Chain A
Amino acid sequence: MMRDAMHSLTRLVRRAAALCALAVLPVHAAPLQATDDLGTVVRLAAPPQRIVATLPSLTETVCELGACGRLVGVDRYSNWPAQVRALPQVGGGLDPNVEAIVALKPDLVLVAQSSRVVERLQGLGLTVAVLEPKTHADVQRVMRRVADLLGVAGAEADAVWRRIDAAVEAAAQSLPLERRGTRVYIEVNTGPYAAGQSSFIGETLTRLHARNIVPAELGPFPKLNPEYVVRANPALIMVGARSAAGLEQRPGWAGIEAVKTGRVCRFTAEQSDVLVRPGPRMAEAARLMAGCLARPAPSGG
């Protein structure tokens, strides 16, 4: 009983919030349109009120633009901001649930490039925009496109981007000068798969004036020969806690400077989400990485 009451109350509040958002929205005489990543011009007659996002970074972008209340469904990996966890889940990027998406009657579906669901959804008469941010520049571009589709003023989207960009810069400035040029190895998974300079997380590292031991030529997430890491001898290792287990025991790795001095940053699953998602939380990612770079080596190292 109590829980039901709470539920209807929250639903009421959410609806009221959505109504308020509606009232505040600028009235667009011209239809909204934007070109998506496939080159398709996506047109909407009115600002969408029922949005489904199937990529965590797209969910986060929509919310950052103040339209979180207009989301009616997200993919199962979207978990930020907290309020999207209460939304219906429509599968994942690899296995989107077409029926669940259609049942939500969305007026706009945001999907990733890799999603196979695009044609199916379009065939069912839904408006689909394919957007997939992969780099810092993409985050800005996608933010602008999503803003265009949402009916949020371009200036506003630019302001959001500038705020994020300034925060990344601030994180870089917060680092002591002597930490610049630190040789860093970022492992995204045991394989070992590394994050290279051209990956999103690698770009953030470059903005922090650190040196990635994996150059851009090797691609964003190369599967490395482990001896490459031993030879490059990074002074700092960033790794997800899940793949960090047993890192020191890998053959030859005990001799790596970062292991010897104990400068191995283990990120929790939540922190890893922030680090690898090319979305509006990139400033938070920069702060996390800056915190790791600034951390003094444990004593006795």
Chain B
Amino acid sequence: MHAARAHWLALWLLLAAAGLLLLGAAIGSTGVERLWQMQADPTAWQIVWDIRVPRTLGAWLAGALLGLAGAVAQGLFRNPLADPYLLGSASGASLAVALALTAFGVSPGATHWVVRLGMTGAAFTGAVLAVLLTLTLARGVQQTLRLLLAGVIVGVVLGALKDLITIASADVLQAITAFMLGSTGLVGWSAGAVMAATLAVCLLAAWMLAPVLDSLALGEATAASLGLPLPAMRAALVAVLALATGAAVAQTGLIAFVGLAAPHLVRSILKTTHARLVPLSALMGGLLLMAADLLARWLIAPQELPVGVLTAVLGGSYLLWLMHRRGRGRVA
């Protein structure tokens, strides 16, 4: 019964994504265009093929990575408020980007490194280093509360350092704000390929580790009593979380709320095990960010709204509506 519902939901989410992909190819800086007319003009076709399609797919992939990371985080910490940025990766990434922007032009050597690493590389490195810092402070992955606290502290401290650096230069401040709001505008085929590969690896790993998440839901003692090699599997889950979040953040900046909302949206439709929840959350996150990206470029074209603002508004209002409906149901 559950399996059938989960399959239907997955199919529906994929179909919706495919539909949005078509729409995404047609919506551009001049509003909605007819794709079959654009095929005749090579420039227009290049815009569709080299810009719109990879960016729409990129939005889906980044959203899927965040949705997956969100489901893993909420299972791992047994906390419905956990989101992918919980281990400090967001602040780590923004601090690294701020550092790279500041280092640019300081000396030829520094500039050379910044150019070679790129903003994407810097953000990914920063995100991963921040998670490692959190793990060091928490002395491993065994104590959930310790890990959570360390993550929050690392997030706050690195965020403060980032602020300290950015406020010194108006130029950097502006660039960092854009990064914090997130953007899918500059995702190309290569960025998409990187995210797709990461998603495949993370999905497989998370699917294999799903039993741990299920057993953790019953409490740590129960999980330990089941005879699973908990320490190693938890470490692996943290690695999945860090990798998925880092890859998404590096390509699209800090996109709010997708990671938190996607698992909740899936759970509101059906209750299931983590082996299904994780992939479904990925599909849901992808759809959410893809829809937000479409709206972001369509609403005030040729200008764009920051996509992170829209994910928060979209996901947030849907969750609010769900809570409202459920609350009313209970009263009645």
Seen from chain A, the residues whose Cβ lies within 8 Å of a Cβ on chain B are: 76-77, 92, 94-95, 188-193, 218-219, 222-228, 230-231, 233, 240-243, 245-246, 249-252, 255, 268-269, 272
Q: Is the CB of A94 within 8 A of B303?
A: no
Contacts of A243 in B (CB 8 A): 175
Of A190, A225, A233, the contact of B302 (CB 8 Å cutoff): A225
Q: Is the CB of B185 within 8 A of A226?
A: yes
- CA–CA, A94 and B101, complex, Å: 20
- In chain B, what residue has the closest Cβ to A196? B303
- CA–CA, A192 and B304, complex, Å: 9
- In chain A, what residue has the closest Cβ to B50? A252
**14 further contact pairs, Cβ within 8 A, besides A219-B303, A225-B185:** A95-B167, A189-B174, A191-B178, A193-B174, A223-B304, A225-B304, A227-B52, A228-B29, A228-B302, A231-B28, A242-B104, A246-B119, A251-B189, A252-B46
Could you list 17 A-B pairs, sorted by A, with CB under 8 Å? Answer: A94-B167, A191-B185, A192-B185, A219-B303, A224-B302, A225-B185, A225-B297, A228-B29, A231-B28, A240-B171, A241-B104, A249-B188, A250-B188, A251-B55, A251-B189, A255-B46, A269-B105
- CA–CA, A191 and B174, complex, Å: 10
Of B54, B115, B173, the contact of A251 (CB 8 Å cutoff): B54
Contacts of B54 in A (CB 8 A): 251
9 nearest A-B pairs in the assembled complex, by CB-CB distance: A251-B188, A228-B29, A228-B302, A252-B50, A225-B29, A191-B178, A252-B51, A222-B303, A227-B51
Residue B183 at the A interface, CB < 8 A? yes
Contacts of A95 in B (CB 8 A): 167
- Distance of A272 from chain B, by nearest CB (Å): 7
Contacts of A268 in B (CB 8 A): 105
- In chain B, what residue has the closest Cβ to A233? B43
Contacts of A250 in B (CB 8 A): 186, 188
- CA–CA, A108 and B171, complex, Å: 28
- CA–CA, A245 and B116, complex, Å: 10
Q: Is the CB of A218 within 8 A of B302?
A: yes
Of A193, A223, A227, A245, the contact of B47 (CB 8 Å cutoff): A227
Query: Contacts A227-B51, A246-B119 hold; do A241 and B105 have CB atoms under 8 A apart?
Result: yes
- Distance of A262 from chain B, by nearest CB (Å): 17
Residue B306 at the A interface, CB < 8 A? yes
- CA–CA, A94 and B28, complex, Å: 35
- Distance of A52 from chain B, by nearest CB (Å): 19
Tally of B interface residues using CB under 8 Å: 41
Q: Is the CB of B171 within 8 A of A272?
A: yes
Q: Is the CB of B168 within 8 A of A226?
A: no
- Distance of B188 from chain A, by nearest CB (Å): 3
- Distance of B175 from chain A, by nearest CB (Å): 5
Residue B118 at the A interface, CB < 8 A? yes
Q: Is the CB of A223 within 8 A of B168?
A: no
The contact string, 1 if C-beta is below 8 Å from chain A, for chain B 161-198, is 00000011111111100100001011111000000000
- CA–CA, A61 and B168, complex, Å: 22
Query: Contacts A242-B171, A245-B118, A252-B50 hold; do A193 and B178 have CB atoms under 8 A apart?
Result: yes
- Distance of A183 from chain B, by nearest CB (Å): 15
- Distance of A252 from chain B, by nearest CB (Å): 4
Of B43, B169, B171, the contact of A255 (CB 8 Å cutoff): B43
Task: List which B66-122 residues lie within 8 A (CB) of chain A.
Answer: 101, 104-105, 114-115, 118-119
- Distance of A270 from chain B, by nearest CB (Å): 10
- Distance of A14 from chain B, by nearest CB (Å): 26
Q: Is the CB of B47 within 8 A of A252?
A: yes
- CA–CA, A94 and B166, complex, Å: 12
Contacts of A233 in B (CB 8 A): 43
Question: Of residues B28, B172, B188, B302, which shows the largest number of chain A Cβ atoms within 10 Å of its Cβ?
Answer: B302
- Distance of B195 from chain A, by nearest CB (Å): 14
Contacts of B188 in A (CB 8 A): 249-252
- CA–CA, A242 and B171, complex, Å: 9
Contacts of A223 in B (CB 8 A): 178, 303-306
Contacts of B306 in A (CB 8 A): 223
Of A191, A240, A251, the contact of B50 (CB 8 Å cutoff): A251
Q: Is the CB of B304 within 8 A of A224?
A: yes
- CA–CA, A114 and B303, complex, Å: 24
Q: Is the CB of B171 within 8 A of A269?
A: yes
- CA–CA, A268 and B111, complex, Å: 12
Contacts of A240 in B (CB 8 A): 171
Contacts of B29 in A (CB 8 A): 224-225, 227-228, 231
Contacts of A218 in B (CB 8 A): 302-303
Contacts of A231 in B (CB 8 A): 28-30, 43, 47
- CA–CA, A233 and B188, complex, Å: 18
- In chain B, what residue has the closest Cβ to A254? B50
Q: Is the CB of A189 within 8 A of B51?
A: no
